[in-house]
């Protein structure tokens, strides 16, 4: 699951030292994931790239760019964009081979990200006939409103060829709206299964923003469970067919206070 460069590289490479977290819905990636229970479509466009990997193969510096879109599925092959989130930032990766480890792992790795993310309603959330934003009178923050966050995210992982377990922590050093708890936590597990398939689970403990108090009231567990098939065996590298079940706080900034539950099935590309 880990990329191991053999020589120093000072040019951009998509073969990142720290492999993308398979089930984390906020990893930069290319993905087309229709909802199975509602007329929505998730469209993600993005990637991480290492700008530098050292000769020892244990340190890398890179960049992240991503958009996460929620589209409506309507007739005549139209997909109005309801909301979109933009992320960009830098990352630092490190890894170390473990010798004589008593656990079923042979590599210890870590990644630190410094990122900005913002979110916006788009044309699919606007009623042209009424000349107004949809739900503007009932939205707890009013529409439009500003959603912007700058944060530090750290993930530490233990991995082998067929298994990876990780823990993560995120700190918001600036956020609009404010009065939300600055801390969140993450854990996950990835297992390669027969036939080039895999199972993955990502869990986040996220602050819940109370719309009445306009501040964090408690924390909520958020799960993204994924089963997939990697197409490497048929010569299509970095592409997987995946089924997700998501339950918890919405990944989209315009709905950051909403509790959601849905299942998706589609294609993910990890460049």
The H helix count followed by the E strand count for the chain is 0, 14
Residue given tokens 């993560």 in the structure block: 168
- 61 neighbors 48 (Cβ within 8 angstroms): no
Residue bearing the bigger pLDDT, 46 or 76? 46
Give the model confidence (pLDDT) of 192-238 as tens digits.
999 999 999 999 999 998 888 888 889 999 999 999 999 988 889 88
Give the model confidence (pLDDT) of 235-256 as tens digits.
898 899 999 999 999 999 999 9
Tokens read off for 24: 């984390």
pLDDT band with cut points at 50, 70 and 90 for residue 2: very low
pTM for the whole structure: 0.91
Buried residues in 205-224 as b, exposed as e (16+ CB within 10 A): ebbbbeeeeeebeebeebeb
pLDDT above 60 for 4: no
As a whole number, mean pLDDT of residues 135-160 equals 90
H-state helical runs in 225-266: none
Question: Which residue spans within 13-105 are E strands per DSSP?
Answer: 30-34, 40-53, 59-72, 81-97
Q: What is the DSSP letter of 75?
A: T
Residue 154 is inside which H or E element, if any? strand 147-159
Residue given tokens 């294609």 in the structure block: 267
Confidence (pLDDT) at 270: 87
Task: Tell me the sheet residues that pair with 239.
Answer: 269
pLDDT above 50 for 96: yes
Residue given tokens 């530098």 in the structure block: 52
Quote the mean pLDDT of the chain. 91
Give the model confidence (pLDDT) of 151-184 as tens digits.
999 999 999 999 999 999 999 999 998 889 999 9
pLDDT above 90 for 14: no
- Those residues whose C-beta lies under 8 Å from the C-beta of residue 235, and which sit 6 or more positions away, are none
Residue bearing the bigger pLDDT, 233 or 93? 93
CATH code: domain 30-269 is 2.40.230.10
Q: At CA 228, angle to CA 201 and CA 195, rounded to 5?
A: 120
Nearest to 87 by CA among 186, 166, 170, 182: 170
- 37 neighbors 49 (Cβ within 8 angstroms): no
pLDDT band with cut points at 50, 70 and 90 for residue 7: low
Spatial separation of the C-alpha atoms in residues 242 and 65, rounded to whole Å: 22
């Amino acid at each position: 699951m880990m990329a191991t460069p053999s020589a120093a590289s000072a040019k951009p490479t998509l073969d990142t030292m720290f492999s993308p977290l398979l089930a984390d819905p906020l990893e930069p990636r290319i993905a087309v994931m229709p909802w199975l229970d509602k007329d929505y479509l998730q469209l993600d466009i993005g990637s991480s790239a290492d700008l530098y990997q050292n000769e020892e193969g244990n340190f890398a510096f890179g960049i992240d760019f991503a958009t996460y879109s929620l589209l409506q599925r309507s007739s005549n092959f139209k997909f109005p964009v309801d909301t979109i989130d933009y992320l960009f930032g830098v990352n630092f990766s490190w890894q170390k081979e473990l010798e004589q480890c008593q656990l079923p792992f042979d590599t210890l790795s870590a990644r630190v990200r410094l990122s900005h993310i913002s979110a916006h309603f788009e044309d699919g959330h606007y009623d042209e006939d009424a000349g107004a934003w949809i739900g503007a009178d009932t939205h707890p923050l009013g529409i439009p409103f500003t959603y912007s966050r700058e944060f530090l995210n750290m993930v530490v992982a233990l991995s082998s060829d067929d298994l990876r377990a990780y823990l993560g922590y995120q700190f918001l050093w600036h956020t609009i709206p404010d009065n939300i708890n600055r801390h969140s936590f993450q854990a996950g597990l990835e297992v390669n299964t027969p036939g080039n398939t895999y199972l993955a689970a990502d869990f986040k403990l996220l602050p819940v923003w109370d719309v009445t108090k306009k501040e964090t009231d408690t924390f909520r567990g958020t799960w993204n469970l994924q089963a997939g098939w990697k197409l490497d065996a048929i010569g299509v590298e970095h592409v997987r067919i995946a089924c997700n079940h998501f339950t918890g706080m919405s990944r989209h900034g315009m709905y950051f206070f909403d509790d959601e539950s849905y299942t998706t099935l589609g294609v993910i590309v990890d460049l």
